Amino acid sequence: MTLDKNILQFAVLLRKAGLNVSHSEVSEALKALALTGMDKKTFFDTLSATLIKDQADMRVFEKVFEYYFAPEFISSQRDHSGLLSAIINTDSQSVSQNDCQGCDRVPGTEIGRSTGFGQGQGLATAAVDNFVQVIKAGIPEDMSRLVKRGVESLGRLDEEDLEDMKTAIRQVKVFLEWNMGIYELEKAAADLDAKTWLTWQERLNSLEDKLYRELEKKLINELGTKALETVLIRENLNQLDFYRLSAPQVAEIRKKVSKLAHKLASRLSFRYKRSNRGQVDLARTIRKSMSYGGVPIKPAYRDRYPTRPEFVVLCDLSGSVRVFSEFILQLVYSIQSRYIHARSFVFVDTPDEITGYFQNREIEDGIKDIYNLAKFSRTAFSDYGQVFIDFNEKYFDVLNKKTTLLIIGDARNNYHREHAECLRRMCQQVKKSIWLNPEPAERWDTEDSLISLYGRLCDQVFECRNLEQLDRAARKIV
């Protein structure tokens, strides 16, 4: 296969992972490669400078690069084997597993997976010590070796591991005594300065990242193209389910949300600018002309600023919905000061108002304060019915014919009483009511989900499981 074809294939994979790479950029990349050297670093820099135009995309780019241009991969491509055969051919893992004989192995892992309980009692301290040492020293090679050993403890991987990586990750962590290690580090850090702890934390994060990558690489090596594509599609931020985001993905989506906020804001500001020219208000012109004996000397204009749209936002902060609710709060508050008027409430089993938390503050600080100060949970279990009752009682007067009521949640009510009549009363009081549900539609109304029952009372219900859908819904609403 020629280099050109490889780059084209690489671009296809980038697109699968959610990055917008145009044809013109690919041809630019090819031209650029002809000008620069072919060592891996230059190769990487050349491709990234021509194909990636947004720093937020860099992490995903690095990943696709690492997996696609893996040494095994490139070498196998020279003898014109395609993507598929290349991946199959890199099954050298079994060899390197033998290199690990000298390491402290937990007995029993050769046969089955560790379950996490009572495993390798005698060696536990050795594993913890090793973990702690690696973090304290922070030598990248040692960190890589550690996660590699951890991932190898899983033995052969199958489809199930690809489906549910979190479980596999948990097993590796048990094997490496990860949580015990963190506990030891926290204890040690208590006597040290803040800087050291910050450094360790950084290393822990990077170790976790390495762990995911190592597992993904092993999956790709053992399961082939399909695994590569599955792994990359999972990186596609636009289509990633909100309820299964990793920490770096949450951070990246946050950036995308603020981009969305910018876009919405500039649309709104455009609306204002247009109305700035002012339309003649005929009725008022005539009324004004009365004082001049009916001669319309001065035309009256409509308000220069259309009244800001008013929102009341009600966010479920329980469990897996939480991440999504935080995105919504971020969105609301990035455009609120100038373009919309919003009052916000959070709830688990009772609502509390948090509008003031964001006034002249950073969004992160506001969100932190919600968890520290707001009183939105008595039992820690969702209870929509109770929330609607309390809202009617305490806050009903914030609703009126000018407001749009926005409810964010999965409508999972823990089998509590529904109290639909309270929600109906709220919906009837406002101009418009909209429910955003971050859960995949195929799970609506299963188990304790009451989304259809509640949704019927609202004017609109949107499935909002990923960025793409959030983008669409936001544009419709604002």
Partner 1 sequence: MFESIEDVKKKLTKQNYLINYRAATAVFLAVKLQKPLLIEGPAGVGKTELAKAVAGALDTSLIRLQCYEGLDESKALFEWNYQKQLLRIQSNHLTDKTWEETRANIFSEEFFLARPLLQALKAENTVVLLVDELDKSDEEFESFLLEALSDYQVSIPELGTVKASSIPVVVLTSNNYRELSDALKRRCIHLYIDYPSFERELAIVRIKVPEANKVLTEKIVQFVQSLRKMVLKKPPSISETLDWARTLVLLGAQSINEELVLNTINILLKYQQDIKKVEERISGLLPE
Query: Interface with partner 1 by CB under 8 A: which residues?
Result: 20, 22, 24-25, 28, 31-32, 35-37, 41-42, 45-46, 48-50, 52-55, 58, 193-195, 198-199, 202, 259, 262-263, 266, 362, 364
Question: How far apart are the C-alpha atoms of 33 and 6, rounded to whole Å?
Answer: 12
Q: Which is nearer to partner 1, 1 or 30 (CB)?
A: 30
Looking at the DSSP bridge assignments, the partners of residue 314 are 345, 407
- Please give the Cα distance from 237 to 364 (Å, whole number): 21
End-to-end CA distance of the chain: 50
CA distance 362 to 408: 22
Please, which residue, 28 or 129, has the CB nearer to partner 1?
A: 28
Closer residue to partner 1 (CB): 79 or 364 = 364
Phi/psi of residue 433, nearest 5 degrees: -125, 135
Tell me the closest approach of the beta carbon of residue 395 to partner 1, in angstroms: 31
Min CB(260)–partner 1 separation in Å: 10
Q: What is the dihedral of CA 101, 106, 112, 116, to 10 degrees?
A: -150
3-state secondary structure of 353: strand
CB nearer to partner 1: give 52 or 245. Answer: 52
* Single-letter amino acid code for the residue at 428: Q
- Distance between CA atoms of residues 175 and 130, nearest Å: 12
Closest approach of partner 1 to the CB of residue 281, in Å:
28
Nearer to partner 1, 58 or 250 (CB): 58
Closest approach, Cβ 258 to partner 1, in A, equals 9
Residue among 66, 71, 62, 105 nearest 90 (CA)? 71
Which token pair is 283? 């009725």
Q: How far is CA 79 from CA 2, 76, 86, 368, in A?
A: 10, 6, 10, 55
Q: Smaller CB distance to partner 1: residue 8 or 30?
A: 30
**Looking at beta carbons only, is 66 or 364 nearer to partner 1?**
364
Least separation in angstroms between residue 307's CB and partner 1 is 25
What is the smallest separation between the CB atom of 187 and partner 1, expressed in angstroms? 17
Closest distance to partner 1 from the beta carbon of 32 (Å) = 5
Contact 264, 335 (CB under 8 A): yes
Q: Would you call 278 helix, strand, or coil by DSSP?
A: coil
